[in-house]
Amino acid sequence: MFLEEKENTAEAKEASGKSGGKPQPRRTAQRRTAPKNANAAKGQEQHQENAGGQKAAAPQKSANTQKPKQVPAKSQKDGKSPAKQPSKASKKDGRGKLKIIPLGGLEQIGMNITAFEYEDSIIVVDCGLAFPGDDMLGIDLVIPDVTYLKQNIDKVKGFVITHGHEDHIGALPYILQQVNVPVYGTKLTIALIEHKLEEHKLLKNTKRKVMKHGQSVNLGCFRVEFVKTNHSIQDASALAIFSPAGIVLHTGDFKIDYTPVFGDPIDLQRFAELGKKGVLALLADSTNATRPGFTMSERTVGKTFDAIFAEHTSKRIIVATFASNVDRVQQIVNTAYKYGRKVVVEGRSMVTVIDIASKLGYINIPEGTLIDIEHLKNYPPESTVLITTGSQGESMAALSRMAASIHKKVSIMPGDVVILSSTPIPGNEKAVANVVNELSMKGAEVICQDTHVSGHACQEDLKLIYSLVHPKFAIPVHGEYRHRVAQKELAEFMGVAKDRAVLVNSGDVVALDENSCEVIDHVVSGGILVDGLGVGDVGNIVLRDRQNLAQNGIIVVVLTLEKHSNQLLAGPDIVSRGFVYVRESEDLLEEAHAIVADAVEDCMERGVSDWGKIKNIIKDSLSDFLWKRMKRSPMILPIIMEV
């Protein structure tokens, strides 16, 4: 089911109407706090004015009645007015405050998801996945734990997505099965999400709405405006979140690019306008907060491509980059067309993204330039360019398979020029180095100098945003701890008070109003492991066993006991996997067999009939022997069969 693209939908009006119909006690609490903060009333009036003329009579009345003389100071002193009670309650449960609850994305690069809650309304910004670490053996993906959203499902109004990268949309097919609410995003973002939903057969059951930059959507008591930004994928957005507590600006992943390959530059004018209205809190991208200077424009990569193509006119060129970087692909296609080369796209995700981007008009490939990989053999190598996935050294990506000589249709030949148009994501450096070594051993020339620019804001870009927005509070997001610390220091340098630049962790509940920003609670957060079709069925215990098996191997001890008398009928037999090479360790295994046989015989003599005790005695005896003899601790698995 697809929602109509209208700025003020009936659903939005209904939501705004609900916002306008808040119970009287909440308005009373607002009047009580008015003497302390006249700006809050002004901000609320501005919020209602910007809501597109929606029904909001009650909140406007509340804002207009917020006068300093409404609550005399004397009544507060003599105890006749309970004016201070709401503030005490708000410290405990955040009542009357905006709650910001990051459920992921703060201790790592990836799995970005943040909930914004005000009374009976929750909106969720992004819903990304993370890729498993080296210690997560056999795990395919990691998705966020949304227990808090499931517990408050009636409050959740929708997912609002900043852009179409996997670390921001990848978990949606899994989470929407648990929290089925509408999804809002820009055109390319929604198209990429729809492709995922179609793969998981969720397309018919999920409401989507395509938003344009500058448009707003009303969700409960929130109004969310999409603001144009630049990133390494088209249609990236910042989100201006208007709430009764004030305006919160979430930048999403962004950079400042004055000369983008496609579309318009970042809407700095809107950032400045929001800054003049008064931004309560800024949640900004921290990925490059440790890097000084400005982030280079995407167009600079195009000049590098041109120089490389001009220098290697007699060689085949293979370019590996991120599948989602449509602008990068466009520049490769433009350069290939300029030098009369045919283009082959290889890698499932690359083919998918380019197909979607072409249909939506986000990439322009000249007619006759793109050829199928099946026809590659019909053209001389020097007249072709391959655009492929695998720039991060992923083992099953196209470039890695080419480097390992296991790709069915492309073989690396001496003289090939391979351009790595990316920088390794933290943790992928070793995998990338291995691919480069394999390519070099096959005689290929690998180029990675000046072939990539980041899609994230560096320090000077962040300073510009802070100078335009002037937030009262700064909450660095999207990055490891060191990245967020660097942005905290930058925010303080740009004038944010030291106690108002706040570092939080995933699961923290941050209560926010005009005067304070503090962590008041903690909710369940973390990662849910996806292994094949299983979601959440692999936990720490299973991972620990897998790591133990990988590091130490396993020994299986098999014996057969008679059903009634508990007499040993067969065995014990010992099977080893991943511990020692059996043919070269026969003496060791014979000794191990003797140790196990003695342990079983001892159990029989002592009349031990409990199988659990027998297994433990076998494990302890064999484990002690192997540690003394080999200084190793394999997993020992006794199996008792009954006849």
Q: List the catalytic residues.
A: 285, 456
Calpha distance 555→595 (Å, rounded): 14
Calpha distance 99→122 (Å, rounded): 9
Give the number of other CB atoms < 10 A from CB of residue 54: 18
Beta strands 98-104 and 113-118 are antiparallel
Coil, strand or helix at 566: coil
Closest of 42, 18, 37, 132 to residue 90, by C-alpha: 37
Calpha distance 204→371 (Å, rounded): 34
Strand partners, 557: 574, 638
Closest of 213, 172, 231 to residue 461, by C-alpha: 231
Closest of 382, 456, 398 to residue 425, by C-alpha: 456
Tokens of 359: 């249909």
**In which residue are the tokens 């080369």 written?**
341
Calpha distance 51→221 (Å, rounded): 10
Calpha distance 454→435 (Å, rounded): 21
Q: Can the peptide bond before residue 182 be classed as cis, meaning omega within 30 degrees of 0?
A: no
Tokens of 138: 């056999």
Calpha distance 94→105 (Å, rounded): 23
Calpha distance 235→263 (Å, rounded): 9
Beta strands 279-283 and 246-250 are parallel
Measured at the CA of 388, the angle between CA 385 and CA 393, to 5 degrees, comes to 135
Please answer whether residues 230 and 257 qualify as being in contact, where contact means their C-beta atoms are separated by less than 8 angstroms: yes
Instruction: List all residues 6 or more positions away from 79 whose beta carbon is below 8 Å from its beta carbon.
Output: none
| 141-to-64, 188, 458, 505, 572 alpha-carbon distances in Å | 51, 23, 29, 21, 40
**In degrees to the nearest 10, what's the CA dihedral of 19, 24, 30, 35?**
150
| 9-to-3, 183, 242, 303 alpha-carbon distances in Å | 9, 14, 17, 45
**In which residue are the tokens 């050829």 written?**
371
- The end-to-end CA distance of the chain, in Å, is 59
Please answer whether residues 545 and 635 qualify as being in contact, where contact means their C-beta atoms are separated by less than 8 angstroms: yes
Instruction: List all residues 6 or more positions away from 321 whose beta carbon is below 8 Å from its beta carbon.
Output: 328, 329, 332, 387, 391, 421, 422, 452
Residue 491, Cβ density class (10 Å: 0-12 exposed, 13-18 middle, ≥19 buried): buried
